[in-house]
Chain A
Amino acid sequence: MSAGTPKSLPSSGQKSIQEVCHPLSAEEPVLPPSPDGGSTTTTKDLSLPNGNAVDTSSPASSSSLLNRLQLDDDLDGETRDLFVTVDDPKKHVSTMETYITYRVSTKTTRTEFDLPEYSVRRRYQDFDWLRNKLEDSQPTHLIPPLPEKFVMKGVVDRFSEEFVETRRKALDKFLKRVADHPVLSFNEHFNVFLSAKDLNKRQGLALLSKMGESVKYVTGGYKLRLRPVEFAAMGDYLDVFTQKLGTIDRIAQRIIKEQSEYLVELREYGPVYSSWASSEEEALQEPLDGVAGCVANCCSALEEQTEDMSEDFLPVLREYILYIESMKNVLKKRDQVQAEYEAKLEAVAFREDKKTPVPTDVEKCQDRVECFNADLKADWDRWQNNKRQDFRQLLTGMADKNIQYYEKCLAAWESLIPLLQDKQEAKVETN
């Protein structure tokens, strides 16, 4: 269900985002990431997954071609080595609580995993745990969103088929997005989540020790003076995009409401024809009953379409709004890191002896800024691509649902015509 992701990341280093061409454009080459989790030094060693060096000169270089092709779903299966699925929701009732678990199935050839296949059961709070761990351990990366945690009891039935199915789809999407991410998919917490029989959350803490150093990004008190142009552009885009998605959400809700009210009237409309038919003789009775039947068919088609909109369209839209919030937060964190660096740099600039080298912690800050920027840009591009595919899929799906609705209605009405017209002609002949 999730979009195919390009394996290699375009990392522009210190270039502005406008200078970095879209992977689908013919110019710049694309650079693969280093496969270890977390950010280290910038990836100046350019090599393709198959080990060949990247040809950065010609526009039609194989790397850009590969990247172009990798957006095609068909080719993706050949390059992916980790497949994750969420399905089979089951209800668990205990004395303390009632909850749902989902089966998480994994197939992989990666050496980081002990077995090629796994099947475990997880509940929502396990997913929540994973997400928090990912956010903490990969602060420079954009973590996909989870479906809403809290649902108002009494308003929504947490155990209804529709709700569970909607949630399952969102959880499936979440894991697939993580699995497709070249950095996040190698995260140890992710590994544990997929493979551990019993997700003991304490396990996660032990693993943290290794990651400890890279995790602690100072977020205290530093204020960024000016966001660099490329990131400011991202922020602006996200602001407008959020707004537009919000509008689309409201329009979709309004349409659902109008359709529901239309349905109410239609349900009253059809039976009037039936009632009329009962006071008529055969000549008129059959056509009237026929019309009543058509209207009834249209009613059920409409009901189905409206349900689909509620269950498939709206949740995905809302999920993207959450995604945007995550991205905004990552941008803010990046600002923090840059602010810290700039503050420290300024402090150093005021010391008297300009001949002594810049202290290492300022250097470390600089590294952090550069890494964060690189990771963020890479994630941004991937996110843009995925967004494009996701919305293409979402909107064509919506169009499809509408087409199917009209096709059902059309079939009903078309089947009525020959019934009526034959009789009419036959009557003329017999007289």
Chain B
Amino acid sequence: EETLLWLRGCGPRDMVEKGTTLLKRMEISVAEAEKRTGKNAVSMQETYTVYLIETRAVDAASEGANPAPDSLWRRYSEFELLRNYLLVTYPFVVVPPLPEKRAEFVWHKLSADNMDPDFVERRRVGLENFLLRVASHPVLSNDNIFYSFLTQEQSWKEVVFETGFQAKADSRLKALNATFRVKNPDKRFAEMKHYGDELQSVISQLLRVRARVADRLYGVYKVHGNYGRVFSEWSAIEKEMGDGLQSAGHHMDAYAASVDDILEEEEHYADQLKEYLFYTEALRAVCRKHELCQFELEMAAQDLTSKKQQREELATGTVRTFSLKGMTSKLFGQETPEQREAKLKTLETQIEDGEEMVKEKNAECEEFVKNAWVDIERFKEQKDRDLKEALISYAIMQISMCKKGIQVWSNAKECFSKM
């Protein structure tokens, strides 16, 4: 087992240059996407997309040999399987999210069709991003199943199922969905969960409004295209003014067309926001799992206490507190000493087991808290870095849009002044 050297991150580059993460040794990319048709589980014809994962050892490239990368094809559902496995196996990790399954928060001109080439392309980028995040994670990057996902074409699915994670997944899922109350909630985790909820709400709102803004911006730009046509028609009846009008009209057409690229670029920004929107779910999952841990510990402790109490009652023969058992034995007669002896013995074993259980659960909890908090801190720093970068690039996009606008209108102005 490799020991992890977890170095606190300090800059944008550290995602790639961690101590022993996989990414340092291996280049990973999702190079292509292709449509396939085949028969699904119920023998119905279906069309789906597969993604080409390419990997290459880093040192191989640096030696100047430049060998061809290894590659295999995977579909979205296999990515999902991988992620579910990671979620169950590393409950204390804020597991990176996958890109959205269906296009959401779309502004109207953008296609919501899963088969749309732009959507497929953005998904390809999102999947690559997912793999890079996992491969640079100090814990996740060392997972064998992950490694096989990248390198083993055949029977990967079987290998995953062999780990038996499904069983764990089912029981965990049941537990997570059940409502339970923790007596002494850990303040830090409660705060983190609350933050996750807030972040989810605000990013959702931001994405919704942004889509509406994009819609309106599109309308403004496109209407200007009408100027192009009318200036052209008008220039036909003019003598000296004609040329200036005609050329200005061309610039208006260019202006109207420019909005497509602008909004395409902004989709990238929306995708960055979406990643963190989905990250909030992973964050919340960790907090919930901690609660579950805590709850199980509390239950074990409670159970132990009640067993100890029962032993005391039995040993002293006094009924401390009112209990139905006590009542019935009073009503229906005392037990024989042999019966009592047998009961005591069982209780003793149970108490022993119970104490073991509590010790175990306690250790589990402590371990979980330690590991989870490390990963949460890592996540927080990553989030602050990434989102700041996203905002900077958004500002740069806006600057570029303004400069384009100034250019076009300056050109048009020159044409007008020559009228």
Does chain B have a CB within 8 A of A279?
A: yes
Set of chain A residues within 8 Å of B387, measured between Cβ atoms? 284, 287
Q: A259-B220, A284-B388, A392-B419 are in contact. Are A291 and B394 (CB under 8 A)?
A: yes
Cβ B10 vs Cβ A431 within 8 A:
yes
Set of chain B residues within 8 Å of A265, measured between Cβ atoms? 209, 212-213, 215-216
Secondary structure call for the A interface: helix
Determine which residue in B8, B234, B394 has the highest number of CB atoms from chain A within 10 A of its CB, and name it.
B234
Report the minimal beta-carbon distance from B199 to chain A, rounded to whole angstroms: 7
Of the residues A248, A269, A276, A290, contact of B210 by C-beta under 8 Å:
A269
Chain A residue at minimal CB-CB distance from B392:
A420
Q: Looking at the complex, which of A86-94, A127-135, A138-146, A394-402 is the stretch in contact with chain B?
A: A394-402
**Cα(A407)–Cα(B406), bound, Å:** 7
Of the residues B224, B241, B398, B416, contact of A255 by C-beta under 8 Å:
B224
Does chain A have a CB within 8 A of B417?
A: yes
Cβ B227 vs Cβ A251 within 8 A:
yes
Does chain A have a CB within 8 A of B412?
A: yes
Cβ A279 vs Cβ B198 within 8 A:
yes
Set of chain A residues within 8 Å of B223, measured between Cβ atoms? 251, 254-255, 258
Cβ A272 vs Cβ B405 within 8 A:
no
Of the residues B195, B213, B234, contact of A269 by C-beta under 8 Å:
B213
Chain B residue at minimal CB-CB distance from A259:
B220
Tell me the chain A residues, 113-157 only, with Cβ under 8 Å from chain B.
none
Cβ A273 vs Cβ B419 within 8 A:
no
**Cα(A160)–Cα(B217), bound, Å:** 30
Set of chain A residues within 8 Å of B10, measured between Cβ atoms? 427-428, 431
Cβ B405 vs Cβ A406 within 8 A:
yes
Chain B residue at minimal CB-CB distance from A425:
B11
Does chain A have a CB within 8 A of B159?
A: no
- Count contacts between A and B, CB distance < 8 Å: 152
Chain B residue at minimal CB-CB distance from A285:
B384
Set of chain B residues within 8 Å of A207, measured between Cβ atoms? none
Report the minimal beta-carbon distance from B409 to chain A, rounded to whole angstroms: 4
Set of chain A residues within 8 Å of B217, measured between Cβ atoms? 262
Contact flags (1/0) for B293-321 with A, using CB distance below 8 Å? 00000000000000000000000000000
Cβ A268 vs Cβ B391 within 8 A:
no
Cβ A417 vs Cβ B396 within 8 A:
yes
Cβ B230 vs Cβ A251 within 8 A:
yes
Report the minimal beta-carbon distance from B203 to chain A, rounded to whole angstroms: 8
**Cα(A125)–Cα(B388), bound, Å:** 62
Cβ A403 vs Cβ B410 within 8 A:
yes
Does chain B have a CB within 8 A of A421?
A: yes
Report the minimal beta-carbon distance from B246 to chain A, rounded to whole angstroms: 13
Does chain B have a CB within 8 A of A294?
A: yes
Set of chain A residues within 8 Å of B75, measured between Cβ atoms? none
Set of chain B residues within 8 Å of A22, measured between Cβ atoms? 239-240
Report the minimal beta-carbon distance from A71 to chain B, rounded to whole angstroms: 11
Contact flags (1/0) for A403-414 with B, using CB distance below 8 Å? 101110110011
Report the minimal beta-carbon distance from B205 to chain A, rounded to whole angstroms: 5
Does chain A have a CB within 8 A of B374?
A: no
**Cα(A262)–Cα(B214), bound, Å:** 9
Of the residues A255, A264, A420, contact of B391 by C-beta under 8 Å:
A420
Cβ A424 vs Cβ B409 within 8 A:
no
Report the minimal beta-carbon distance from B256 to chain A, rounded to whole angstroms: 11
Chain B residue at minimal CB-CB distance from A252:
B227
A-B contacts, 29 of them at CB < 8 A, read A237-B237, A244-B234, A247-B226, A251-B226, A258-B219, A259-B220, A262-B216, A262-B220, A265-B213, A265-B215, A268-B212, A291-B391, A392-B241, A395-B412, A395-B416, A395-B419, A396-B417, A399-B413, A402-B409, A403-B405, A403-B406, A407-B402, A413-B395, A413-B398, A417-B395, A417-B399, A420-B388, A428-B10, A431-B8
Given A241-B237, A291-B391, 13 extra CB contacts under 8 A:
A258-B220, A262-B219, A265-B212, A269-B209, A272-B206, A276-B202, A283-B384, A291-B395, A388-B419, A403-B413, A406-B402, A413-B402, A417-B399
B: residues with CB less than 8 A from A are 8, 10-12, 195, 198-199, 202-203, 205-206, 209-210, 212-213, 215-217, 219-220, 223-224, 226-227, 230, 233-234, 237, 239-241, 244, 248, 383-384, 387-388, 391-392, 394-396, 398-399, 402-403, 405-406, 409-410, 412-413, 416-417, 419
The 5 closest A-B pairs by CB, nearest first: A399-B413, A431-B10, A262-B216, A410-B402, A406-B405
